[in-house]
A = this chain, B = another copy of it.
Amino acid sequence: MLLQKKDKLVMIGDSITDCGRKKPEGEGRNDSYGHGYVDMVNAFLQSVYPQLGVRVINMGISGNTVRDLADRWQTDVIDHQPDWLSIMIGINDVWRQYDLPQVMEKHVYIEEYENTLRDLVQRTKPSVKGLILMTPFYIEPNASDWMRAAMDQYGAVVKRIAEENGAVFVDTQKAFEPVLEHIYPATLAWDRVHPNSTGHMTLARAFLNAIGFSWNGEQ
| Chain B residue nearest to A184 in the complex (CB) | B98
Q: In which size bucket is the chain A interface?
A: 35 or more
Interface, chain A (partner B; CB < 8 A) = 8, 27-30, 33, 35, 39-40, 42-44, 46-48, 50-51, 53-55, 95, 98-103, 142, 144-147, 178-179, 181-184, 186-187, 190-191, 196-202, 205, 215
- Chain B residues positioned under 8 Å from A190 (CB to CB): 29, 99, 190-191
| A202-B101 contact given A39-B197, A95-B186, A142-B145, CB 8 Å threshold | no
Pairs A-B, 8 closest by C-beta atoms = A43-B201, A55-B102, A215-B215, A43-B197, A46-B198, A50-B182, A99-B186, A98-B184
Return the contact of A100 from the options B29, B35, B43, B200 (Cβ within 8 A).
B29
Number of copies of this protein chain within its complex: 8
Q: Smallest Cβ distance from A215 to chain B, in angstroms?
A: 4
Q: Which residues does chain B contribute within 8 Å of A147, judged by CB atoms? A: 184, 186
CB distance from A2 to the nearest CB of B (A): 17
Closest B residue to A28 using CB positions: B100
5 cross-chain CB contacts under 8 A: A35-B35, A42-B198, A50-B183, A51-B181, A142-B144
Structural contact, B202 and A47, CB atoms closer than 8 A:
yes
Assess whether B186 is in contact with A43, with CB atoms less than 8 Å apart.
no
A75 to chain B, nearest CB (A): 15
